[in-house]
Amino acid sequence: MPSFDIVSDVDMAEADNAIQNVTREITTRYDFKGSKSTIEIKEGVITIFADDDLKLRQLHEILQGNMQKRGIEPGSLDYQKVEPAAGQAVRQQVLLKQGIEKDLAKSIVKAIKGEKLKVQAAIQGDELRITGKKRDDLQEVIAFVKGMKNEQPLQYKNFRD
């Protein structure tokens, strides 16, 4: 029976490469000369340290641009609350979303069932398994889910006949 998985993964090696590119760009840009702004990644959490709010916003733009160049969509970044650090400096944590949250998974399953497509959708941990009798039905589901406006980027893997 044909099936495929809907997942939401971030390639950590590519994320690490993007952070290294951001660090390299910070050291060469004129507007960051003499700045103590840094960015680092540890275990799926990006920590941004900037001199002020303006530099923080600039780092956001640089980060998103480099992530997109590496194939990581901006929806994968979950910006946390900005924390004040020493003086005017600010710190912010950015989480990389891994896996589909339960609420999003339930809403996707409900939408697929509401569309009356001839497939079965099952939540398996932090991913969805879609099975059907025909490959065309599965391709229809992929097109339908892509058409849904989800805040989290999704990938479609393990397509089997």
3-class DSSP string for the chain: CCEEEEECCCCHHHHHHHHHHHHHHHHHCHHHCCCCCEEEEECCEEEEEECCHHHHHHHHHHHHHHHHHCCCCHHHEEECCCEECCCCCEEEEEEECCCCCHHHHHHHHHHHHHCCCCEEEEEECCEEEEEECCHHHHHHHHHHHHHCCCCCCCEEEEEEC
State which residues form the domain around 31.
12-96
CATH number of the domain residue 53 falls in: 3.30.70.990
Q: What is the pLDDT of residues 11-22, one digit of tens each?
A: 889 999 999 999
Domain boundary among 96, 116, 144: 96
53-73: pLDDT as tens digits: 889 999 999 999 999 999 888
Which of 60, 76, 96 is the last residue before a domain boundary?
96
